[in-house]
Each structure stands twice: as structure tokens, then as C-alpha cells.
Amino acid sequence: MRLPPCRYRRGIVLRSRGGPGAALLTVCLALAAALPVAGCGSDDASMVHDDVATLPFERWDGTSTTLADLVATDGRPLVVNLWATWCTPCLEEMPHLQAAHEARGHEVRFVGLNVSDSPTRAAARADEMGITYLLGRDPDGDFSEALGAVGLPVTAFVDRSGDVVHVHHGPLDAESLSTTIADRLTLP
């Protein structure tokens, strides 16, 4: 079988136009492009492991705590954000988390858990960005696994009884963050 002559456009080799193969390729590419987007914004808290509130994490001062301990300290619900320095959407949403912390920190405790960076690198990035909410590390990926994370960022909303009531996969803007706090968390 002889192929039609090749035409080049921006480094892509085009062999033919149309036909059933082209239609199938178009459908497959459209489905593949839609799949990653379909997962963003997921809120299936039923996929969360039961023990997530009792998983220990390391604070940046070297001490360990759990989400349950943080809630028990003062009864505030939690917004727990998993992030990394190499994750552009994580870095883009951190100012929204910081602003919400500054405005509502007396009602809601904000926690940022770095999932993959060295403590020095993560601390330097957080300092550059002026982040003042509680920061810690999840070096073994326990929280990522427990929250069903397949990418970053992931933000979990933990109510006053220590239960994860919502998990958001993907970045949050200021309005979505504020709405989710109001809709999902009972504030003191």
C-alpha cells in the first residue's frame, strides 16, 4: 500500500485528510482531553480513608501533630491544602488561602502540607510568598493517599468533629474557597 505524499506543518507530518481513521482519532483525542478536567473539583469525600484525621504529620518546627489534635485544641474546623513548590496551580492558589487565613483564621484553621519538597526548599518558597498559616510536611505521601489525591493541589475541609466533609481536587480561587467554607463547615 502506498501512502500519499507527506505534507509538513510545524513539525507534524500529515498523511491524509478525513476518513474513518481521522474521525476515530478526533473522538479519542477529545475524550483524552476531557478526562483530566473531569477529575478537577471532585468532592467525593466517601473516597477518603477513615484514619486521615489521626495520621501524624510533621510541623516545620519538627514536632508532630494530627488533624484530630488540631481540631481538639480549639474546636475550629480545618482547611488542609496539599501543595508542592513545583506545582504551579498550588502556588497560584496559596495567596487565596493566605488571604482567607488572614480574614477568617479566628474561625477556621488553615494548614498547608508540603508533599514532596525538601523542608528547606518548601520553607523558602512559603517565606517568599508571605504564608503565615500552619505549615507541615507529608514526606511519605500518607495524606495524599488518604485523600485520594492523583495530582495537586488537593484541599480537604474538616469539620469541627474532625470529619473530612469535602475534598477538592484542583486549584481553588478566592470565591470558590469562601463558598466552600461557608457551605461545608459549621463555624464557631
CA-to-CA distance for 166 and 108, rounded, in angstroms?
Answer: 15
Q: Contact 43/167 with Cβ under 8 angstroms?
A: yes
Q: What is the pLDDT of residues 123-155, one digit of tens each?
A: 999 999 999 999 999 988 999 999 999 999 999
Q: What is the pLDDT of residue 22?
A: 44
Residues of the chain with pLDDT under 70: 1-47, 188
Q: What is the pLDDT of residues 51-69, one digit of tens each?
A: 899 999 999 999 999 999 9
**What DSSP line would sit under 61-116, residue for residue?**
TS-EE-HHHHHHHH---EEEEEE-TT-HHHHHHHHHHHHHHHHHTTTSEEEEEE-S
Q: Compute the radius of gyration of the chain from its Cα atoms.
A: 21
